[in-house]
Chains A and B, each alone.
Chain A
Amino acid sequence: MEYGLDKRSNALKIFNTTFIIVWLLVACFPFIWTFWGSFKVRADFFSRADWWYAITAFNTLLETGAKFTTDAYSQAWTEGEFWKASRNTVIVTFFVVTISLFLGTLGAYALSRSTRNYAFWILIAALIFRAMPHITLVSGYLFPFFQLQIWGILPTTIVVLVAINQPFTLWLLYSFFKTVPKELDESALIDGCSYFQAFRHIIMPVMWPGVITAGLFSLMLAYNDFTVTALLLNQENHTMVPKIQSYLGTNQHEGNLMWAVSAVVSATAPLFMLVMFFQRQVISGLTAGAVKG
């Protein structure tokens, strides 16, 4: 808090700076370390002899002749079929985001413009649905999906992720729509627009910040999901996160653990880039429900 009257003592300043540096180390170092280690061989990153090898690259130098190696990446992406997993992730993420936003904006607009009691109860029901652990829902899906023979394919997973995502998207977009003044669409209605036309031509153009935020959160949910994708997709259709887990399970391969390390870096990097560009939207989304409510 930078108030003109507020004089901070030097001791406090030093304490504050130290605390922030320590916290940032705790928060970021694991990622930096994993990124660094992904360019080493297994004997260095998981060294039985001396952890210092991970820095001096003793075994990497012996095995590959250089201090850095991209073997783990090339093997995981080709032999480990990580390319297939990332393709599946792109497909799932793209469709989940588009469909979620389409359904979510329509529903949230209706909720924000309705003055009836049921709108309130729908929001409460959405809150309860938001609290459901995903694994309990999955245990409800598996049996019917087996019976209908729609288990294991991407479209099923996309629809399920869209549905699981709806409660949060609704709440988020609802709080954004509430900030758009009612007079805007009311005047359009008086001029003879239908509700849909007012929504399409008057409200949506001013809603872009909200839509981008909601889109980012749908994207993060679909991209990061493990519970649904691991249990509802067959081996062939696995997305990145269950794929990483499958590298851990089959430990006979010497290289597999390093596959997992390089796969973790490959999966995390695009996400970090995205958040770097859209940091403002992510933060506004996280606080939308909290600060106003």
Chain B
Amino acid sequence: MPNKTFFWFFLPTGLAMILFIGLPIISTGIQSFYAQHDQVVKEVKKCDPFGCTVSIVVDQEKTSKIREEKPLGKFNGFGTYVDRNHLAIEEIGKFWNETNSFGEFVDQVTNLPFYKALIFTLTYCLFVTPNVLLLGFIIALSLNAVTRRIRGPLIFGTILPMIVTPLVGSLVLFWMIDAEGIIGANLQMLMDDPYLSLKSSKTLTWITIIIYGIWHHSPFAFVVFYAALQTVPQEPVEAAIIDGASRWQRVRHIVLPHIYPVVTFVALISLMDNFRVFEPIIGFSAEGSAQSLSWLIYDNLVNEEVILFGSAAATSMMTIVGIAILLAPVLIRTWKEFRTAR
């Protein structure tokens, strides 16, 4: 296709992506270097028969004037990145000097908002991704062994958790595990503890969200693996059966090598999706004990008094860096393949 024709065909979609994905990333980058204005204060002298007092009040007029003149805020450089709510360089230095043991130091650091969110996000990815791959593969294997006639409805039932939006999916589960819901109430009876609530402990909340994540993402892994299983060649499998290979040996040495490229694809996609975990935290009302990077950004953007653009942007930039680190191995591999292909 000539360059000119390509240009015209690609222009609309290219423009949409540049304007609404490319530019926003740049805009986020610029915003992250600015912070909202401080409030302008003035001294007010109040005199009454007993004497004069000087009090400091916010000058509303001047404050709003400055905000109007420079809506982006004041230039802050990397200030937002290193403040207490983000990388907290100073605080970490202080903890390092003040704490006695390494455990105590780690404890202090993981209580800082950014690191707390980072650790939750990574834990979520670490537990959800492998389990999704495993469960998806097992479901695919066992559905593949079912008579073809009834597979359709079974597949429909299997993919339900995936097609609802995460907020709805987590709400539906949350209503069941709530202390007043069916699972929550039965757990209380089983454990003989009338105050048991999945919400009350941090560990239980984390486990709940991770189980939700596995429930929500496994169907995707299942669908891809199931399709890949249909393309496994029959001859080697039959040969293996004749040679007396056990079922496990067949899966291990024929099926798995065949679908290996698909496994990396699913792992990559679900890693990317898990890294942006955010809606379940709202669905499970778990803000208290579980916060993710995306949730931090959301929280800054829905702030009641003044939207913290700078803070949200700084967290966003660091999230993008995180995504880049996750994607780097894949991109490097693709680039190498591309170079050798030329």
Interface residues of A (CB under 8 A from B): 1-3, 5-6, 8, 12, 16, 19-20, 23-24, 26-28, 30-31, 33-34, 37, 45-48, 50-51, 54, 102-104, 106-107, 109-111, 113-116, 119-120, 122, 124-144, 146-147, 159-160, 162-164, 166-167, 170, 195, 199, 220, 223-227, 231, 241, 244-245, 248, 260-261, 264, 267-268, 271-272, 275-276, 279, 282-283, 286-287, 289-291, 293
Contact mask for chain B residues 196-219; partner A; CB cutoff 8 A; 1 contact, 0 none: 000000000000000000010001
Does B316 contact A8, Cβ atoms closer than 8 Å?
no
Contact mask for chain B residues 166-205; partner A; CB cutoff 8 A; 1 contact, 0 none: 1110011101101011100110000000000000000000
Could you tell me the distance between the alpha carbons of A70 and B156 in the complex, rounded to whole angstroms?
A: 27
Does A26 contact B319, Cβ atoms closer than 8 Å?
no
Does A46 contact B72, Cβ atoms closer than 8 Å?
no
Q: Chain B residues with Cβ under 8 A from A33's Cβ?
A: 172, 176, 182
Does B331 contact A133, Cβ atoms closer than 8 Å?
no
Could you tell me the distance between the alpha carbons of A286 and B278 in the complex, rounded to whole angstroms?
A: 23
Q: Chain B residues with Cβ under 8 A from A167's Cβ?
A: 17, 21
Shortest CB distance A63–B (Å)? 17
Does A110 contact B238, Cβ atoms closer than 8 Å?
no
Shortest 4 CB-CB distances between A and B: which pairs?
A: A140-B24, A163-B20, A107-B13, A110-B9
Given A23-B158, A132-B320, A227-B278, 14 further pairs, Cβ under 8 A: A1-B145, A6-B241, A107-B12, A115-B1, A122-B14, A125-B17, A132-B25, A135-B278, A136-B317, A140-B31, A167-B21, A244-B168, A248-B285, A283-B226
Q: Chain B residues with Cβ under 8 A from A26's Cβ?
A: 215
Interface residue? B5 (CB, 8 A): yes
**Chain B residue with the shortest CB-CB distance to A128:** B327
* Max count, chain A CB within 10 A of own CB: residue among B9, B180, B285: B9
Shortest CB distance B178–A (Å)? 7
Interface residues of B (CB under 8 A from A): 1, 3, 5-6, 9-10, 12-14, 16-17, 19-28, 31, 71-72, 138-139, 142-146, 148, 152, 154-161, 163-168, 171-173, 175-176, 178, 180-182, 185-186, 215, 219-220, 223-224, 226-229, 231-232, 234, 237-238, 241-242, 247, 261-262, 265-266, 272, 275-276, 278-279, 282, 285, 293-294, 297-298, 300-302, 307, 309, 312-313, 316-317, 319-320, 323, 326-327, 331, 334, 338
Does B14 contact A264, Cβ atoms closer than 8 Å?
no
Does B158 contact A135, Cβ atoms closer than 8 Å?
no
Task: Give the contacting residue for B12; candidates A16, A106, A140, A227; CB below 8 A.
Answer: A106
Task: Give the contacting residue for B24; candidates A114, A141, A264; CB below 8 A.
Answer: A141
Could you tell me the distance between the alpha carbons of A279 and B160 in the complex, rounded to whole angstroms?
A: 11
A166 and B23 in contact (CB under 8 A), knowing A31-B172, A34-B172, A132-B320?
no
Does A107 contact B224, Cβ atoms closer than 8 Å?
no
A103 and B16 in contact (CB under 8 A), knowing A138-B301, A139-B312, A291-B228?
yes
Does B24 contact A170, Cβ atoms closer than 8 Å?
no
Q: Chain A residues with Cβ under 8 A from B301's Cβ?
A: 135, 138-139, 142, 231
Q: Chain B residues with Cβ under 8 A from A31's Cβ?
A: 160, 164, 172
Q: Chain A residues with Cβ under 8 A from B309's Cβ?
A: 139, 142-143
Does B5 contact A137, Cβ atoms closer than 8 Å?
no
Q: Chain A residues with Cβ under 8 A from B215's Cβ?
A: 26-27
Shortest CB distance A170–B (Å)? 7
Could you tell me the distance between the alpha carbons of A231 and B145 in the complex, rounded to whole angstroms?
A: 45
Between-chain CB contacts (< 8 Å), 25 pairs: A2-B145, A20-B142, A20-B154, A47-B180, A104-B13, A106-B9, A106-B13, A109-B9, A122-B10, A133-B275, A133-B319, A134-B276, A137-B28, A140-B23, A140-B31, A143-B71, A143-B72, A147-B71, A231-B302, A241-B165, A248-B285, A264-B172, A279-B155, A282-B163, A286-B223
Shortest CB distance A11–B (Å)? 12
Could you tell me the distance between the alpha carbons of A268 and B290 in the complex, rounded to whole angstroms?
A: 27
Does A245 contact B167, Cβ atoms closer than 8 Å?
yes
Shortest CB distance B84–A (Å)? 19
**Chain B residue with the shortest CB-CB distance to A12:** B247
A268 and B168 in contact (CB under 8 A), knowing A5-B238, A114-B1, A132-B25?
yes
Shortest CB distance B136–A (Å)? 11
Task: Give the contacting residue for B282; candidates A30, A126, A245; CB below 8 A.
Answer: A245
Could you tell me the distance between the alpha carbons of A89 and B282 in the complex, rounded to whole angstroms?
A: 21
Could you tell me the distance between the alpha carbons of A235 and B207 in the complex, rounded to whole angstroms?
A: 33
Does A163 contact B21, Cβ atoms closer than 8 Å?
yes
Q: Chain A residues with Cβ under 8 A from B279's Cβ?
A: 226-227
Shortest CB distance A218–B (Å)? 13
Q: Chain A residues with Cβ under 8 A from B23's Cβ?
A: 140
Task: Give the contacting residue for A283; candidates B12, B21, B155, B319; CB below 8 A.
Answer: B155
Could you tell me the distance between the alpha carbons of A138 and B160 in the complex, rounded to whole angstroms?
A: 28
Does B224 contact A286, Cβ atoms closer than 8 Å?
yes
Shortest CB distance B22–A (Å)? 8
Does B20 contact A51, Cβ atoms closer than 8 Å?
no
Shortest CB distance A225–B (Å)? 7
Shortest CB distance B164–A (Å)? 6
